[in-house]
Amino acid sequence: MKSRVSSAPPNGDQRLDADRADPTPSPQPPAPSAWGVFLITDRAQTNGRPLLEVVDAALQGGIRAVQLRERDLSTRGLLGLAEQLRALTRRAGAALLINDRIDVALACDADGVHLPGNSFAVADARAVLGPQRLIGVSTHAAAEAAAAAQSGADYVLLGPIYDTPSKRAYGAPLGVAALAEARSLTRLPLFAIGGIDPDTVRQLSADGIAVIRAIMSAVDPQRAAQALLESFSPQRNTEDH
């Protein structure tokens, strides 16, 4: 789908030449089991930098999955930003997921949606999105992760594992034991979220990690993405626990 870039992107974001012609076919995005590190956006954590600039740097650092999660934007503003991110992620061969907004995901031709725990049922989202697009679900207990898998989700986020400001509303950190329990209940791709950095990532028994601040607030988002990817190995992290 051709990107329709807003002439006044939200938060003062600059166009990164998202529509420039490129004769090289875009690589296909990997499946969730191969993402490793899943980036979730937050314009409030970029330290004043344009969101597109930070995400583009993260993609250059190897990120292959991005969730657009800017819940304060109007529908028009969100769609304009989504279309610009769609162009960036497609060129990088990365998946783009839209938080909660099935309409925006379809309009920008995203790879799927990510559903908060209080959002649509997976079956209802699947009826609209069809079988090809991805559906992820946020969960806050091992039993919820298992239920999401049984409902037909393609991957699950579980957290917060460690303390983090963005997840304090969901209660105390679950700890690494919750990951091990969830892993015993489902083989669906499982992503840990909450307070994760290169120092804590090796303790996690998960298929991947989801981060916001660790990349969005980093002085060098490209290097931060590389460091997380180097620290996290899905095979090692699932086999060592």
Which candidate in 3, 138, 166, 231 is catalytic?
138
What pLDDT digit, counting tens, does each position of 114-156 carry? 999 999 999 999 999 999 999 999 999 999 999 999 999 999 9
Stretches in the chain below the pLDDT threshold 70: 1-26, 166-167, 170, 234-241
Confidence (pLDDT) at 6: 37
Asked whether the beta carbons of 67 and 98 are under 8 A apart, the reply is yes
What pLDDT digit, counting tens, does each position of 40-52 carry? 999 999 999 999 9
Residues 6 or more apart whose CB falls under 8 angstroms from that of 89 comprise 29, 59, 66, 95, 96
Domain boundaries, the chain: 28-239
Among the listed residues 25, 21, 23, 18, the one whose alpha carbon sits nearest the alpha carbon of residue 3: 18
Which candidate in 167, 183, 205, 231 is catalytic?
167
Asked whether the beta carbons of 55 and 81 are under 8 A apart, the reply is no
pTM summary value: 0.87
Cβ atoms within 10 A of the Cβ of 165, count? 11
Residue matched to tokens 């304009």: 80
Confidence (pLDDT) at 4: 33
Residue matched to tokens 């180097």: 230
Superfamily of domain 28-239: Aldolase class I (3.20.20.70)
Active site residue 2: no
Q: How far apart, in whole angstroms, are the C-alpha atoms of residue 180 and residue 193?
A: 14
Which candidate in 43, 49, 64, 69 is catalytic?
69
Confidence (pLDDT) at 169: 73
Active site residue 167: yes
